[in-house]
Amino acid sequence: MKRKIFLICIIIAFAATLSAALSACDLFGNKGCGSSHEFGEVIEIKASTCTEEGEGKKVCSVCGYEKRGFVLPKKQHTFGEAEIEEEATCVKKGKESKTCSVCGVKEERVIPQKSHELGGWEIKVEPTCTDNGERVKKCKFCDYEEREKLGTISHDYKETERKEATCEEPGYVKRVCSVCGKTQTEITERLYHSFPEGTEIKYDYRDNSDENYCYYAYRECARCHKDVFYKTQSHSMKKDAEFFVEATCSSTGVDAKKCLYCNRRTTETIPVVPYNHKRGAAVYGERNAENCTVQATVSCTLCGEEIDSWYEPRHDYDAETFVCTREGCGNVKEMPSSYFTYSSTYLGGWAIKGINDKKQPT
């Protein structure tokens, strides 16, 4: 309790002293600024450097009172050009530093790691016609590299054998790779015979040597000059009148044929035709006075067989009346109408009326 009272006493004593001092300023200040001096800019007393703070004061423009204890901040270091201490590479960071020319203090900075710096492509393995190759790009600064496959190159074929295609056979070209020995055969299609327009057709007529064909026709190929089969033509057999013999009742015939286009001739026997008789001349018998007829018969001139028979009238016509004179016959001879003098009773065809007229004249 006593201690607390003592502390309060000290505070009171200090306040009294401060109050006295302020009263003194009032009392002894030239113009009597009191507590409100008119201060201007801080005036440097001790210059600051990059390592130490400086000191400044302010002076009242009214009463000239000086107030000290102003701190002037440190100056910036004066760094020169950065100096590289360790170069950055593609595998590690670098380091650079700046030194203050005044105090010698050093400031360091890290230089970031660089990317790889690749050179141009270098062939590491040459590709061949059988194996792939490889090429590489290397970093100039480290062991880093990029690889790339190179595809095989084409074979170096050299022609070793050649056969040209003909009209009938295909041709070929054989080649061998000079590097790996691989062979290659290229087939060239066979050509076909060539028959330009107007190519002559050659006919080989077979006549009697070929029972089916009249001729075999060929054309000569303009390329290979071979006669190439073109076409055939069947015979066209027709009756050969010169040698044809008809078969009869008593003899065989000859069926002779001749090709319309070539000289082929064929003959075949035609068997006997029993009813193919050869008619002879009619033979007449005696007149039968009872019915005014005669019998006519015809026989085959080859075999003698009687092959026809008929009766023919044989009237005795009166020269004037044209009526058969045989008793009981009365047949009138048929005469053309022009023979008679026409009358109004003409009946057409045969002039019966005219005949009656002659029989019974008026």
| Binding residues vs Zn ion (CB under 5 A) | 33, 37, 50, 60, 62-63, 65, 77, 90, 100, 102-103, 105, 116, 129, 139, 141-142, 144, 155, 167, 177, 179-180, 182, 193, 214, 221, 223-224, 235, 249, 259, 261-262, 264, 277, 292, 300, 302-303, 315, 324, 326, 329, 331
Of 292 and 351, CB closest to Zn ion: 292
Any long-range contacts for 285-289 (C-beta under 8 Å, 24+ apart)? 287/314, 289/326
Dist. CA 326–CA 63, nearest whole Å? 217
Of 63 and 346, CB closest to Zn ion: 63
Dist. CA 193–CA 224, nearest whole Å? 7
Closest contact distance (angstroms) between CB of 2 and Zn ion is 44
Closest contact distance (angstroms) between CB of 246 and Zn ion is 13
Question: What is the token pair recorded at 242?
Answer: 């010169």
Burial 209-244 (b: 16+ CB within 10 A, else e): ebeebbbbbbbbbeeeeeebeeeebebeeeebeeee
Closest contact distance (angstroms) between CB of 119 and Zn ion is 11
Of 206 and 354, CB closest to Zn ion: 206
Of 211 and 361, CB closest to Zn ion: 211
Of 141 and 342, CB closest to Zn ion: 141
Closest contact distance (angstroms) between CB of 212 and Zn ion is 10
Closest contact distance (angstroms) between CB of 245 and Zn ion is 16
Dist. CA 85–CA 163, nearest whole Å? 78
Pairing between β-strand 157-163 and β-strand 145-150 as defined by DSSP bridges: unpaired
Question: What is the token pair recorded at 63?
Answer: 């009463």
Question: Please, is 351 exposed, middle or buried when counting C-beta atoms within 10 Å of its C-beta (0-12, 13-18, 19+)?
Answer: buried
Closest contact distance (angstroms) between CB of 8 and Zn ion is 34
Closest contact distance (angstroms) between CB of 9 and Zn ion is 33
Question: What is the token pair recorded at 182?
Answer: 């691989």
Closest contact distance (angstroms) between CB of 351 and Zn ion is 20
Of 113 and 356, CB closest to Zn ion: 113
Select from 176, 171, 177 the least CA-distant residue to 153: 177
Dist. CA 210–CA 188, nearest whole Å? 40
- For every residue of 184-228, DSSP letters joined together read EEEEEPPP-----TTPPEEEEE-GGG-SSEEEEEEEE-TTT--EE
- Residue 24: in which H helix or E strand, if any? helix 2-28
Of 166 and 346, CB closest to Zn ion: 166
Closest contact distance (angstroms) between CB of 5 and Zn ion is 39
Of 232 and 331, CB closest to Zn ion: 331
Pairing between β-strand 227-234 and β-strand 201-205 as defined by DSSP bridges: unpaired
Instruction: Provide the residue type at 175 as one letter.
Output: R
Dist. CA 329–CA 313, nearest whole Å? 11
Of 329 and 346, CB closest to Zn ion: 329
